[in-house]
Amino acid sequence: MRPVAEALSSRLASLYLDLMRWWIPNALTVLRLFAAPGVPVMFLYFARPAADWLALGLFVLASMTDWIDGYLARRWGQESKFGAMLDPIADKAMVVIALVVITGYSGMNPWLILPATVILFREVFVSGLREYLGDTAGLLKVTKLAKWKTTFQMLAIAVLFLGTGLGYVENTQERVLRWTSSEATVAGLVLIWIAAALTFVTGLDYFLKALPHLKGGKHD
């Protein structure tokens, strides 16, 4: 009986380990998805600049999970259809919601509105393409350039949140983290324009890949 019990115990331990290896990366993705609406919630329940700092902290932590969940899934060999489906949705939710918030609280800065519009349009457009293509949507796989696009988007938004937070520091003449609000904002705008350029290029790439399936009003 003892060998049987040991074998059963070993099997259960292996199943538990496999379950945890599948669950942890996907749980991080789900947490990132639910963190997305948490960004505007900070501005509803907290006064500024506390809301800016909390939104920045939440956004940065959630953005970090984008790298962590992918790394763990690859490291543990647990890349799944569920994760592949949910990961880009969580990324888009984080970027789109945070971008809307930061655009509103930037005083509708025209230098931010244009790249933000490009990013929002592309995300909606590509999502529509994937939905229309259905079973053939696999041809629109996430590329390395698209991953860089997401990285620049998240980095730009984080720096822009930093800029709005610094703008509410009482003594604006003091340098916080060696940056002033205007310096952080300019850096964030440069990054968001780079992100918008990458967003446009990747959106065009996806469109060209999907174009053969769009001709004739139907897809294979």
Instruction: Give the pair of three-digit tokens for residue 69.
Output: 């969940």
Under a CB-based contact definition with an 8 Å cutoff, are residues 161 and 56 in contact?
yes
| Owner of token pair 């705008």 | 189
In this predicted structure, what is the pLDDT of residue 139? 63
Pick the closest to residue 103 from 54, 147, 41, 40 (CA basis).
40
Nearest CA-CA partner of 41 in 69, 27, 62, 25: 62
User: Are 87 and 29 contacting, i.e. CB atoms less than 8 angstroms apart?
Assistant: yes
Q: Do 99 and 120 meet the contact criterion of CB atoms below 8 Å apart?
A: yes
CA distance 166 to 154: 18
SS3 per residue for 133-179: HHHHHHHHCCCHHHHHHHHHHHHHHHHHHHHHHHCCCCCCCCCECCE
Instruction: For residue 55, give the nearest of 94, 29, 88, 93 by alpha carbon.
Output: 94
User: 18 is in which domain, residue-wise?
Assistant: 2-217
Burial of 34 (0-12, 13-18, 19+ CB in 10 A): exposed
pLDDT tens over the chain, length 220 residues:
566 555 556 666 566 566 677 777 888 888 889 999 999 999 888 887 788 889 999 999 988 888 888 778 777 777 777 777 788 888 889 999 999 998 888 778 889 999 999 999 998 888 888 777 766 656 667 778 888 998 999 999 999 988 887 776 644 445 444 456 778 888 999 999 999 999 999 989 888 888 877 765 554 4
The tally of domains found in the chain comes to: 1
Question: Quick one: pLDDT at residue 219?
Answer: 47
CATH number of the domain bearing residue 21: 1.20.120.1760
Q: How far apart are CA 196 and CA 48, in angstroms?
A: 28
* Closest among 143, 123, 138 to 210, alpha carbons compared: 138
Chain-centre distance for alpha carbon 50:
23
CA distances from 86 to 57, 81, 142, 180, 215 (A): 22, 8, 13, 37, 29
pTM: 0.79
